[in-house]
Structure 1
């Protein structure tokens, strides 16, 4: 137990003693709320390993999962129904630029990414609709960009992102296009990163 505490202390000491530096590795984790473009609510989680190619520029790979409840357009049924999107998964290459030059612990940032979104099944919930007549509705896969901005405070982060996921056709089990889902959404996140040093700290002299 004592050895484990010593290891954890050394890891934290190394992380806080060094400022953000090129060639450093960091791993960030974000949790937050998702807001579909046309209304609804949801939640998201992002995991993102990054490498600092410059002191203030990081390239990464964002692995995300989002669950949302929102309305969809169905072509042959009345408007009084609810369409529930169970969730989507995404893998995006990303770049973040941080506006901090060793002058404090606050680091505003802007970023962008591009990658692949896998969209989940759609369920239609309405007492007047026979689910056997609708079948299992499935949305398509899509390539899409993402932009984001926020601020890091020490090792904590607050951010906002917008995912430009294109609309997708909803298909019945027979392959017939029966509706459309609007997939664009905002994300509002809180997170934390490990590794890479700490904003505002000065590197130890060798």
Structure 2
């Protein structure tokens, strides 16, 4: 987690130094609801500096945090249990293309990204399993793609995204694999940005 934050800060400084041209640099933040594949609920927040490399093309670095409550599979018992995944983090390179031709302030967009996802500890909530038999569960990390689409209205954003994060094994304190977690999730976001990209009068 600390390494991810350090990399993000250094990358942000590099972006800022590279993008001193007027209206080239922007910073956006998105908040939203998350829906894990297979059922469950959650919330997410994304921070993303971007550089407008062309009129309608932005490259960025997204730092995201998602908290998910979802079903997991525990191998020793033939049913699913609710497990709470707290503060999953991701760090992804992104690209957004905006469909705007100086016809107003609305700018529909499509985008994609690829990055590094980490998974925090998992808490099993079940009366059928003794917590002392499980220990401190840990999930692994993964590299994964993301796709998204939405529209920007002035300086505000409405979007949807899907993170194709692969399944991860759950281990006990002895390192034995005792379960599996599905990590893919859909997000619906609302946000805003500051900086370049004034769509009615793009420079």
Change (3 A) 1:151 1:75: same
Superposition pairs of residues 1-206 of structure 1, within 5 angstroms: 24-79=24-79, 81-201=81-201
2:104/2:199 contact within 8 Å kept = yes
Q: Tell me, in whole angstroms, the C-alpha distance in 2 between the residues paired with 1:130 and 1:80.
A: 15
Q: Tell me, in whole angstroms, the C-alpha distance in 2 between the residues paired with 1:181 and 1:170.
A: 7
Q: CA deviation at 1:77?
A: 2.3
Q: Structure 1, residues 41-70: CA drift from partner, whole Å, max 9, x if none?
A: 000000000000001000000000000100
Q: Tell me, in whole angstroms, the C-alpha distance in 1 between the residues paired with 2:38 and 2:66.
A: 16
Q: Structure 1, residues 157-200: CA drift from partner, whole Å, max 9, x if none?
A: 00000000000000111100000000000010000000004211
Q: Which runs of 5+ in 2 are unaligned?
A: 1-20
Q: CA deviation at 1:129?
A: 1.6
2:55/2:202 contact within 8 Å kept = no
Q: CA deviation at 1:126?
A: 1.2
> Which protein shows a greater Rg?
1
- Partner SS, residue 42 of structure 2: strand
1:86/1:120 contact within 8 Å kept = yes
- Partner SS, residue 77 of structure 1: coil
Question: What is the CA RMSD across the aligned residues, in angstroms?
Answer: 1.5
Change (3 A) 1:103 1:78: same
Q: CA deviation at 1:128?
A: 2.6
Change (3 A) 1:158 1:132: same
- Partner SS, residue 200 of structure 1: helix
Q: Which runs of 5+ in 1 are unaligned?
A: 1-20
1:62/1:91 contact within 8 Å kept = yes
TM-score, with structure 2 as normaliser = 0.86
Q: Tell me, in whole angstroms, the C-alpha distance in 1 between the residues paired with 2:149 and 2:22.
A: 21
Change (3 A) 1:51 1:94: same
